[in-house]
Amino acid sequence: MSTPISTLMNLSGRTALVTGGSRGLGLQIAESLGEAGAKIMLSSRKAADLEEAVAALQAKGIDARWVAGDASNPADAERIVNDTMERLGHIDILVNNAGATWGAPAEDHPLEAWDKVMNLNIRSLFVISQLVAKASMIPRGRGRIINVASIAGLGGNPTEMKTIAYNTSKGAVVNFTRALAGEWGAHGITVNALAPGFFPSKMTKGLLAALGEDKMAAKAPLRRIGDDDDLKGAALLFASDAGKHITGQILAVDGGVSAIHAG
């Protein structure tokens, strides 16, 4: 007999660490996992933002808490993981969402900005994933890692967008996901990535204002950009037993933009 879908997608008894979880896509994913029954640990750099986010989750009946730290700093990353282990006991689900962008023409892009984007968008994923795997997932023989990539990592850029470091880092996230899935499958760990298109967020606010939200929506077959619900189902699939046979995959959640520009 097969397992009921309600059981497969139930995360009761599971724990999730969500980096960059105080707002935007990270908070949306945390909400999804919490609503499915998981205990949530949010992490980002700013304590005030985390307090507000955790209060919002708790108001929905979600068991949530927070730890502040810079995921791109190895000492902070170790503290984040250790604190999560002490307070939750184990980590079943890791959502690598912390990220940054920088807009500048490639010929004038500052090297320090390149390094900042690379450190947060890809180096921190390696550091946190390694720590979590060694502390909890490998010893227990199971785990779910969800990396937040972007459709910007699946191809080039429209000429009006000047985000070479961001695109490069997200392309790295795509192959990091595939490579790690190949290595850690033997430990019962699945590694997948979400590749969002345009969603309203603090990171994309300026870009959407410059390019025009209606114009960007018109580029998608579904004629819209993402909203506060559009990542929740995909994240839950990757985090739950419903996705236990899926690993090394990149799921674009973009209203169809990547489909019509593929190849």
Active site residue 166: yes
Burial class (CB in 10 A: 0-12, 13-18, 19+), 215: exposed
Sign, CA torsion 39/131/102/44: positive
- In degrees and rounded to multiples of 5, residue 75 shows phi and psi of -65, -45
CB of 232 within 8 A of CB of 175? Answer: no
Asked whether the beta carbons of 122 and 167 are under 8 A apart, the reply is: no
**Contact (CB, 8 A) for 235 and 31:** no
Q: Which of 66, 166, 176, 198 is catalytic?
A: 166
In our burial notation (b when 16+ CB lie closer than 10 A, e otherwise), range 110-133 reads eeeebebbbbbbbbbbebbbebbb
Residues annotated as catalytic are 166
